[in-house]
Amino acid sequence: MIKYLTFAVSLLLMIAFMPHFSEVMQQRASLVKLGFVPKGELYKAVVGSFRWFEGEYYTFRSIVYYGSKVKAVMKRRYNEIEYYNLYQTLKAAIILNPYNEDAYYFAQAALAWDARQVKAAIKLLEYVYKYRPWDFQIPFFLGFDYGYFLHDYKKAGEYYRDAANLTHASLFVNLAAKYLYEGGDTESAIIYLKYMISQTRNKNIKKIYQKRLNALLKVEFLQKAVEKYKTKFGKKPASLKELIDAGIIEKIPEDPYGGRFYITKNGKIETTSKLAEGWRHGSNTSNEFK
Amino acid sequence: MAVIQVMNLNKTYKQKLKKVTALNNMSFKVEKGQICGFLGPNGAGKSTTLKIMMDLIRADSGKVLINGIESTRTDSRKKVGFMPENPPYIDSLTGRELLLFSAKMHNIDYQKEKKRADELLEMLELSGSADKKLRNYSKGMIQRIGFASTLIIEPDLLILDEPMSGLDPIGRYKFKNILKEVKNSGTTIFFSSHIIADIEDICNSVIIVKDGRVIKQLTQKDMKSMAIEGYRILVPKDVKIKEIEKVERLEDGLQVMYVKRELLNKTIHDLKGVDIISIEPVKKSLEAIFVKEIEQN
Amino acid sequence: MLTIISLTFKNTFKDRIGIIILSMVLLYIIVPVFSSFSMRQLQEISITMSITINSFILLLLAIFGSIATVFRDVERKFVYTLLSHPLKRSDYFMGRFIGFAFVMLVVLISNFVLSVISIKICAAMYKSRLPLLWGNVAITFVFSYLQYLLLMAFGFLFASFATSFFIPFFATIAIFITGNASQGIYDYIFHSASKEYSELFKVIIKAIYYILPNFSSFDFTVHAAYALKISSNQLINSFVYFILYFTIVMSVALIIFNRRDLT
Ligand SMILES: Nc1ncnc2c1ncn2[C@@H]1O[C@H](COP(=O)(O)OP(=O)(O)OP(=O)(O)O)[C@@H](O)[C@H]1O
Ligand SMILES: [Mg+2]
């Protein structure tokens, strides 16, 4: 009978076709687009009790989207990433469901460092903090953002103290103390990244952190060498090469971001790659998100 | 050749846990040009048989030939009009649309179908509601429009499942007359019913079924011969004749005499000069046969 | 079959549910209104919204219009009075399908016209940095039509054996949801989080992925909204996929419908 024949033939063709099909679909996957998400406030009113799931769904979508863009992030081709839409999506996600940990966690991860939309990240974090006052992670992130990026050490210290009060972990007590007296940027960034790595389940995003942590560990290594040089010779080294000449280090490590390390006038280690400050160099959105 | 040949049909309905045997080796034939009644108590398997004839459900074994073509083939239904019990028509159609739709399904010429639809609506007294939606029709009206929709295709064979249920007495009477007319134009009619009087009135042959089997088939000859057994003659009390089987005295000075069929002429001759009030034929009723057969089985 | 097609077509436009669904085209009014909430993405949002509204209407039509109709034909025994004519069951089934495919096409075309109008309005309100590729918008509409034809085929498949309305109704909705999610989940498991899952799990996911319909392959919304290039390879791929998948589903539905008892 024709029907059975049609069925059998098309089934066989289908089986033969599927591998090709999924391959072509894979090519399309790299084109994942986030697109626009309507304003969270508006949405919240419309979707009713679906808002919770809706919020989680947007977070999920953001994470999958960002995960698919890891290559671009690692290569610092930031203009390939729709940071603005990412911000909007996350914001909608947070407004729909401010209790969702993933949402603010991921907002911090993607926005604060990669996109350098620190103020936007802080705004979202502070919003969530109202709903999750028990959560030490939020003041921890806030402290880090204020200290490391905005150099607002007073605020940073306050938030770290909040975090310390919530967990009683010595880590935060130290950080709080540190920020109240001096700006230990590199060290706090290393602590922060180690924490983020330990908390991240998404392998791709972990890679981004790992790379950054590597760079920072090298900065720290050089910074320590500079300190050693100072105690030994009583003056700052003029260049990194002097560290080798003095036998303190064997060679200058490589910046994973492809830059070159150097010493500033006041003895700080910096790199020409600006440690993945790439967004400022390449992104299409140069003003802060609103 | 028989118009309908039902051969050894078996059908068991499988419901979740229990099985219901609806047909148990059902076999019969319907000859051309007859009105054949399909008689049986509730649940005898009448509707099941008709549905298998129309290939709406499938028999477990056995087959049905309509004009020699197996009922599982669509062309067996050419020129066959079918009306199921409580006919379910798409109720968003109007009566007229239903008729035109049926005609279209049988490739009837457009001009012809329009004219015929009007005639049929007229005949079944539905002209007034022809353009009302079927969902606003009463049960009897649905029955009538359904019947019209089987007639518009100019059928050679009509298969009707309880066509007269829901009709009022006048409707029944008219319906039976139409059936007779249709039969006279050469159409074979096969219909199920459990109203014995209706079948008795118009059928040339009867198939009696019970528990999914044919228990008695009455041919045209049987129907004829079962006709008149004798007569009831109503006369005044004081009349006396010999050779009368049975006499029953009534009040008001009357009596009833029963005479055998062959004695009627002689009796009337004997009663010359007597004031005969009435003569009624006495039939051996289908009902009696039906009840007897059902109870025996 | 032609008679069934035209019956289906006419009745849908007369039917109450049909009218409700068709009146949903009024939703297009909200496109410019809603888009104007956005500050710089008016054009992109108007495109996305137009496509989404079209999808939504076609979804309703597929489920409440067509699947419900076939189910009702069987449930209320309308098939008794349809199939007692010399009409093949498969002709009835395909006739119903094609009738609804036509209805959908009409709705799709009117949606497209309305979309063009609303997108034009929005694009005029704020100049986007992206070009407006009407070809992409049209392709998106065509493929969403294919998507809903396939979904409808699934609905017909479920209606072909269902004995209660809930089976075809919920199964079709479930197919719609899983069909839309399958590619995303597949990508996530095989690319984003590849190492976290066991091989067995992946084989199972792959099998499910192959069996479930992949509605993402018909989704060109972002290409339309963000003026991305659509390669002909993609189009052919999705089209072949549609043809094969559709044939399989429809032939299974026909086989089942042909065999069942219409009690
Ligand atoms: N869809 C069904 N599922 C299960 N059993 C059924 C089904 N239809 C009919 N039956 C059973 O099959 C038997 C025959 O039913 P059928 O409808 O053929 O009887 P009928 O002679 O038409 O009765 P009636 O005079 O009441 O119309 C009955 O016992 C009935 O219960
Ligand atoms: Mg019956």
Phi, psi of B266 (to 5 degrees): -65, -45
User: How far is Cα C71 from Cα C156, in angstroms, rounded to an integer?
Assistant: 8
pLDDT at C141 over 90: yes
- Residue A17 inside a domain? The answer is yes
How many whole angstroms separate alpha carbon B197 and alpha carbon B193?
10
Domain-embedded: residue A141: no
Same domain, A113 and A216: no
> Which of A32-36, B278-282, C157-161 is predicted most confidently?
C157-161
DSSP state, residue B165? T
Question: Residue B203 has what DSSP assignment?
Answer: -
pLDDT at B26: 93
Instruction: Note the Cα A214 to chain centre separation in Å.
Output: 14
Residue C177, CA distances (Å) to A88, B54, C136, C214 in order: 24, 39, 24, 10
* Shortest CA gap A23–chain C (Å): 10
Which ligand does the CA of B18 lie closest to?
1
Instruction: Number of helices (H) and strands (E) in chain B: give both, helices first.
Output: 9, 14
CA distance A204 to A63: 10
- Those residues of chain B that have pLDDT short of 50 are none
CA pair distance A32, B186, nearest whole angstrom: 72
Least confident of A256-265, C83-92, C206-215: A256-265
Instruction: Say which DSSP state A50 is in.
Output: G
Euclidean distance between CA atoms B59 and B66, whole angstroms: 15
**Would you state the torsion angle of the CA atoms of residues C222, C226, C229, C233, taken in this order, to the nearest 10 degrees?**
0
CA distance C32 to C116: 11
Instruction: Give the minimum alpha-carbon distance from C262 to chain B in angstroms, rounded to a whole number.
Output: 6
Q: What percent of chain C has pLDDT over 90?
A: 32
Instruction: Please tell me the predicted confidence (pLDDT) of residue B238.
Output: 74
Q: Which residue has the tokens 């009007």?
A: B118
Ligand 1 pocket, B20 CB below 6 A? yes
Instruction: Tokens for B84, please give them.
Output: 């199921």
The answer for B257, left when phi > 0, alpha when psi is -120 to 50, beta otherwise, is beta
Angle formed by the axes of helices A83-96 and A118-131, to 10°?
10
State the residue range of the domain holding A58.
1-124
Q: What is the pLDDT of residues A164-219, one digit of tens each?
A: 788 766 666 666 655 554 455 677 777 777 877 777 666 777 777 788 788 888 88
Burial of A33 from C-beta contacts in 10 A (0-12 / 13-18 / 19+): middle
- DSSP letter at B175 equals H
Cα–Cα distance for residue pair B42/A16, rounded to 1 Å: 55
Pick the last residue of a domain from A57, A90, A124: A124
CA distances from C61 to A46, A83, B205 (A): 23, 37, 51
Cβ–Cβ of B56/C15 closer than 8 Å? no
Per the structure block, which two tokens stand in for B245? 């089987």
A285 falls in which pLDDT band (50, 70, 90)?
Answer: very low
d(CA B49, CA B45): 6
Domain count, chain A: 2
Q: Do C214 and A25 touch (CB under 8 A)?
A: yes
Q: How far apart are CA C212 and CA C245, in angstroms?
A: 10
What pLDDT score was predicted for residue B46? 93
Which ligand lies nearest to the CA atom of residue B26 in the structure?
Answer: 1
Residue A278: the pLDDT is 38
C22 CA to centre of own chain: 15
- A153 in any annotated domain: no
Helix (H) or strand (E) holding B1, with range, is none
CA distance A125 to A240: 39
Q: Are residues A12 and A110 in the same domain?
A: yes
Is the domain of A2 the same as that of A115?
Answer: yes
A 52-81 residues with CB < 8 A to C? 63-64, 67-68
Identify the DSSP state of C218.
Answer: G
In angstroms, the CA B92 to CA B98 distance is 10
Of A3, A14, A203, the CB nearest to C244: A14
Task: Establish if A105 belongs to a structural domain.
Answer: yes
| pLDDT of A97 above 50 | yes
Question: What average pLDDT does this structure show over C218-237?
Answer: 84
Alpha carbon C239 to chain centroid distance?
14
- B vs C, Cβ pairs < 8 A, gives 67
Say if residues A118 and A145 touch (Cβ distance below 8 Å): yes
| Cα(A136)–Cα(A144) distance, integer angstroms | 12
CA–CA min distance B100, chain C (Å): 11
DSSP labels, C178-212: HHHHHHHHHHIIIIITGGGS-HHHHHHHHHHHHHS
Report the distance separating Cα B245 and Cα B254, nearest Å.
17
For position C3, what pLDDT does the model report? Answer: 84
Q: Is residue A227 a contact partner of residue A187, using CB atoms and an 8 Å limit?
A: no
**What is the model's pLDDT at position A39?**
65
Residue A252 has pLDDT above 60, yes or no: yes
Contacts of B190 (CB under 8 A, 6+ apart): B3, B4, B30, B36, B38, B157, B158, B159, B160
| Ligand nearest to C-alpha B16 | 1
Instruction: Say if A45 is an interface residue toward chain C (CB within 8 Å).
Output: no
Q: Which two tokens stand for residue C8?
A: 């289906």
Chain A: residue whose CA lies nearest to C40: A36
> Which residue type, as a one-letter code, is found at position C221?
T
Query: Under the phi-then-psi rule, with left for phi > 0, alpha for psi from -120 to 50, and beta for the rest, what region is B161?
Result: beta
Render pLDDT for B223-264 as a digit per residue (tens, 0 to 9). Answer: 766 666 778 888 887 777 766 667 777 777 788 888 877 778
What are the beta bridge partners of residue C151? none
Residue with tokens 């086989």: C255
Instruction: Assess if residue A224 is contained within a domain.
Output: yes
Region A107-112 average pLDDT: 85
List chain B residues with CB under 8 Å of C82: 90
Beta bridge pairs of residue A281? none
**C247 reaches A (C-beta below 8 A):** yes
Virtual torsion, Cα C79, C80, C84, C85, nearest 10 deg = -40
What distance in Å separates the CA atoms of residue A108 and residue A145, rounded to the nearest whole number? 9
Cα-Cα-Cα-Cα dihedral sign, residues B87, B89, B93, B98 = negative
SS3 C132: coil
CA distance C17 to chain B (A): 12
For ligand 2, the distance from its centroid to the CA atom of residue A33, given in whole angstroms, is: 61
Whether the complex's predicted ipTM is more than 0.95 is answered with no
Instruction: Give the DSSP per-residue string, B69-136.
Output: EETTSGGGGTTEEEE-SS----TTSBHHHHHHHHHHHTT--HHHHHHHHHHHHHHTT-GGGTTSBGGG
Mean pLDDT of chain C: 85
- CA dist., res. A271 & res. A264, Å (int): 10
B161 exposure class (CB count in 10 Å sphere: 0-12, 13-18, 19+): buried
CB atoms within 10 A of CB C148: 28
| Lookup: tokens for B129 | 């509601």
Taking CA atoms only, the protein residue closest to ligand 1 atom 24 is B42
Residue pLDDT, tens place only, C25-47: 777 777 777 666 655 567 777 88
Interface of C with A in 98-127 (CB under 8 A): none
Per CB-CB distance under 8 Å, the chain B contacts of C85 are 77, 102, 105-106, 153
pLDDT band at A146 (very low <50, low <70, confident <90, very high): confident
Ligand 1 site, residue B40, Cβ cutoff 6 A: yes
pLDDT at C39: 53
Where exactly are the structural domains of chain C?
2-259
Chosen domain end from A95, A124, A153: A124
How far the first Cα of chain A sits from its last, in Å, is: 65
Beta bridge partners of B35: B189
Residue the block writes with tokens 């050693």: A228
Q: Tell me, yes or no, whether A16 and A116 share the same domain.
A: yes
pTM value?
A: 0.73
Pairing of strands B254-260, B228-236: antiparallel
| Beta carbon of B193 within 6 Å of any ligand 1 atom | no
Tokens of B142: 């649905």
Q: What is the pLDDT of residues A2-28, one digit of tens each?
A: 889 999 999 999 889 988 888 888 776
The pLDDT of residue A286 = 39
Predicted confidence at residue B226, as pLDDT, reads 66
CA distances from A96 to A47, A53, A120, C154 (A): 9, 8, 17, 33
Averaged pLDDT, C194-207:
79
Q: B110 CB under 6 A from ligand 1?
A: no
Q: How far apart are CA C154 and CA C175, in angstroms?
A: 8
User: Which DSSP symbol is given to A254?
Assistant: P
The answer to whether residue A40 is domain-embedded is: yes
Q: What is the pLDDT of residue C61?
A: 87
Is C35 touching A (CB cutoff 8 A)?
no
**Is residue C263's pLDDT more than 60?**
yes
In the listed set A89, A124, A159, which residue is the last one of a domain according to the structure? A124
- Dist. CA C53–CA C59, nearest whole Å: 10
When the pLDDT of each residue in chain A is averaged and rounded to a whole number, the result is: 76
| Per-residue pLDDT at A282 | 32
Are B54 and C80 within 8 A, CB to CB?
A: yes
Among chain C residues, the shortest Cα distance to B83 is held by C81
State how beta strands B4-14 and B61-66 pair: antiparallel
Residue showing tokens 């109503």: B234
For an interface test with C, the pick among A7, A28, A46, A83 (most C C-beta atoms closer than 10 Å) comes out as A28
